[in-house]
Amino acid sequence: MASWRTWLARWRLRGAGGAAEPAAGGATARYIAIIMDGNGRWAQRRRLPVAAGHRAGAKMLRRVLEHALDLGILEVTVYSFSTENWSRPPEEVAALMDLFVEMIDSQVPDMHERGARVRFVGRRDGVPEKLVRRIEEAEALTAANTRMTLYIAFNYGGRRELLDAAAGLARAGEAATEESFRRRLYAPEMHDPELLIRTSGELRISNFLLWQCAYSELYFSDKLWPDFDEAALDEALAEYARRQRRFGGRAGAGAAGGAGAEGAS
Residues tagged active-site: 37, 85
The amino acid at 172: A
- Residue-level length of the chain: 265
Alpha-helical regions (H) of 114-216: 129-142, 158-172, 178-182
The amino acid at 100: F
Going from the C-alpha of 130 to that of each of 59, 82, 105, 170, 177, the distances in angstroms are: 22, 19, 12, 33, 38
Identify the helix (H) or strand (E) that includes residue 89. none
**Gap between the Cα atoms of 5 and 231, Å rounded:** 10
**Gap between the Cα atoms of 157 and 198, Å rounded:** 16
Question: Judging by beta carbons within 10 Å of its beta carbon (0-12, 13-18, 19+), is residue 265 exposed, middle or buried?
Answer: exposed
Residue 120 near residue 190, CB atoms below 8 Å = no
